[in-house]
Amino acid sequence: MSRQLLRIGRDAGRRSEAAGTRAAALALSAFAVALCLGLLAMVHATYAGKELRRDARTPVGQTEQSRASRATLWLVGSDALKGQRSFSVVFIAPRTSNAPLPPGVDRWPGPGEAVLSPGLLKAGAAEGIADRYGKLSGTVGQEGLDDPGEWLAYVRPAQGMKAEAPIEAVVGFGPKAGTPAEGLQPGTGGDNDKPEWMFQSLVIGLLLVPSLVLLFTALRAGAHGRDRRGALVEALGGLGRDRALIAVGEAMRPVTLGALASVPFFAAAAFVDVRVPFVGYVTSSTDVRQHGWPVLLTPVAAVVTALALAVISDQLSSRVKGTRPATASRSRRQRYLAFLCAPAVLLASRGPELAGDSTQYRSWISWVGLALVVLTLPAAVAVVVARLGGSLARAGRQRGWAGALIAGRRLSHYPAATARLVTGVTVALIVFTQALAWQAMFGTYHAEMEEILSAADRNVAEIGPRGTASATEAAAYLESIPEGHAPVVLAPARTAGEGPVTISGGCVALESLRLPCASKPARVDVALDRRLQQLLRWNTEGGTYLKVVRADHAELAEQTVQSTNTLAVVRVDGGLPAVTALKEASYRAYPRGAQVRYPGEEWLVDGIPDRDQGRWIRLFGVLGMGILVLAIGLRGKAEFLRQGRALAPLTVLTGGYRVFRSSAAWAIVAPLTLAALAGCVVAAWTARPVARPGMAYFVPGSLMATAVAVVLAVAVVMGLWAARIAGRQARDWRA
């Protein structure tokens, strides 16, 4: 009997109303759900693999008990490419003949040589990164990197290293060698990466929820015919179990095909490192193979989820026992959900404030509120449209508007159909504004600093030696400055707001900055050169005037040693400094190199990780929007098919097909327009708190207007499509 019922469901799925549309929608939705579930498993595998590799490459410090053991001298520094986040540059040297090497480095580089990660070599090719730290000795293996695209460099200084602070002696790497030392870990991912739960929340909120909406929409396509079939099964004595088997048989084939279509994507990720488009992150196939075994279960989980929702959807749509029409029960259900819409909006927009400073709890409250808004807002729009539909029907009857009369009657009597139609629009707007709000949360600091620094003159480079540097090293660096460049040293006033700010340099540099070059110190009250103005703005506090002192390289080298002073390099002709050459020269002169940046750039670097991670939000947000737009199209097409069959006999009464266009305008375009307006307002409110305490995000009015315009355009296209399909079906009916 069970097999027979499954076959009945399979055959019904091929011949039912909107059969082709529903099958395609089910396959696509199952595919999307399987991909989202697999992505969750891959995110966990990535975090697990990175954590293991970080632990394995963390040094174990030397102790009194291990002082006689083999040891490596170790010092973690940093560097950055132009406009990119900083990365670790680790200085290493063997202290003993059998000194241990960090994971990923198979042999010791010679003095003045470096080992770089493949990702760093590729990203820094334009800046000559291969020669910046010395001669390239090799590349870091995958086992020594957070992920295949990590930027990391191991450098063995040409001058050697001494076991003096801050240089540490380490006896091994990873838990097997002893207790890992805090603060000596290479890499910046541990500090910059967001927690795993936050990334998983993004996947769930921006991808999985829209995929489930698409799945539910696909299951309800052509629901009218299945509801009548279910009523017939019950009239013949069928039980809920029988209806469930028929529903499973109807959805089994397309759902299984869609879920299995995701397998090639995960198979590729298990054997090939994949670069994520737009974001640039490279996934590790090793992590997927070792920690991503739940990926194998995602097609099964997607099929089970889809079939369970098919059964639940069928059971919920069963005819209510009693003498009241089924539409009364559905209308009452829509009213209940509409009543809960206002509390849901309040929970999503104001509820996170109840969590105080707890970012995690704020996030979870926000997500719960958003889920409730997604469930209740379409019902609220449908109830409002149903009320307006009654008025529209009366106006159509009084004025003889056949299309308005028909649309008003349908809207007032079938609010559930309206809710299904507008669900995709409201959810899409909420997903879109949430993506923008999260992007703003991660990128606000960086965007503000970019705006502040956009007016800064970048034709000057500041040189900041890392660690302590001697006058001899400073003099060597000044001698290696590229031709056409000139150094100056800026010394702040001894007391803020009192005394002069001193600038020292040769005549070439001073005259390039429009300063006098005299044998005696000269006073300047107004800095005329923009490069000098930026140096003074970012590196001095107070000072009543500028004291200009002529100095040679030896004197400048002595002044550079003082940590309060700032060494700057300008091009004599006023052009952009050769930053790449200045960085490369710093690693030849100073043991740990030097930071080379324009004034204020250090404030910008701190926001770059948030800017980069915000790209994930935009990527997921766009994909989520695409999934929901697909849901709108599929839902609309199914509704059009039903409406076309219902309106076909009216061509005999009206004498033409114009009624289809006017009816589609009132029944399709008008509800979607109202949903766009309500969705924009609610989405803007729910996007305000996001997840960061004390932050409020306000959606720009122009952006809201653009979103409404886009939805209007989609609604018009769908209305025209509805009229065309209805007209074609009417012609077939008359034939």
pLDDT of residue 321: 45
Q: How far apart are CA 636 and CA 668, in angstroms?
A: 8
Cβ neighbourhood burial of 90 (10 Å; 0-12, 13-18, 19+): buried
389 pLDDT above the threshold of 80: no
38 pLDDT above the threshold of 50: yes
pLDDT 10s digits, 220-272: 766 555 556 665 566 555 555 666 676 677 778 888 888 899 889 888 888 88
pLDDT of residue 19: 61
546 pLDDT above the threshold of 50: yes
- Residues 39-63: what's their mean pLDDT? 89
359 pLDDT above the threshold of 70: no
320 pLDDT above the threshold of 50: no
pLDDT 10s digits, 88-108: 899 999 988 888 999 999 999
Around 161, how many Cα atoms within 13 Å sit in the side-chain half-sphere? 27
Specify the range with the lowest mean pLDDT, choosing from 400-409, 440-449, 632-641: 440-449
pLDDT of residue 322: 44
Q: What is the dihedral of CA 132, 135, 137, 143, to 10 degrees?
A: -10
- Residues 627-651: what's their mean pLDDT? 64
Q: Which positions ≥6 away from 123 have C-beta within 8 Å?
A: 81, 84, 129, 151
More confident residue, 413 or 370: 370
More confident residue, 669 or 146: 146
pTM value is: 0.76
Tokens of 54: 């970080």
Q: How many CB atoms lie within 10 A of CB 598?
A: 24
Specify the range with the lowest mean pLDDT, choosing from 161-170, 466-475, 646-655: 646-655
**Which of the given ranges, 304-308, 625-629, 724-728, has the highest pLDDT on average?**
304-308
Beta bridge partner(s), residue 113:
135, 156
Cβ neighbourhood burial of 323 (10 Å; 0-12, 13-18, 19+): exposed
211 pLDDT above the threshold of 70: yes
Q: Are 80 and 594 in contact (CB under 8 A)?
A: no
Q: Are 152 and 88 in contact (CB under 8 A)?
A: yes
Q: Place 115 in a pLDDT band, splitting at 50, 70 and 90.
A: very high
Per cent of the chain over pLDDT 70 is 73
pLDDT of residue 318: 55
Q: Place 217 in a pLDDT band, splitting at 50, 70 and 90.
A: confident
- Residues 363-387: what's their mean pLDDT? 80
pLDDT 10s digits, 565-590: 889 999 888 888 888 899 989 888 88
Q: Place 467 in a pLDDT band, splitting at 50, 70 and 90.
A: confident
DSSP 517-529: --SS-EEESS--S
Mean pLDDT of the chain: 78
Tokens of 385: 């449209």
pLDDT of residue 333: 72
418 pLDDT above the threshold of 60: yes
pLDDT 10s digits, 276-300: 888 888 888 888 888 888 888 889 9
210 pLDDT above the threshold of 60: yes
pLDDT of residue 295: 87
pLDDT 10s digits, 614-627: 778 778 877 877 77
- Residues 169-186: what's their mean pLDDT? 84
More confident residue, 570 or 311: 570
661 pLDDT above the threshold of 70: no
Q: Place 543 in a pLDDT band, splitting at 50, 70 and 90.
A: low
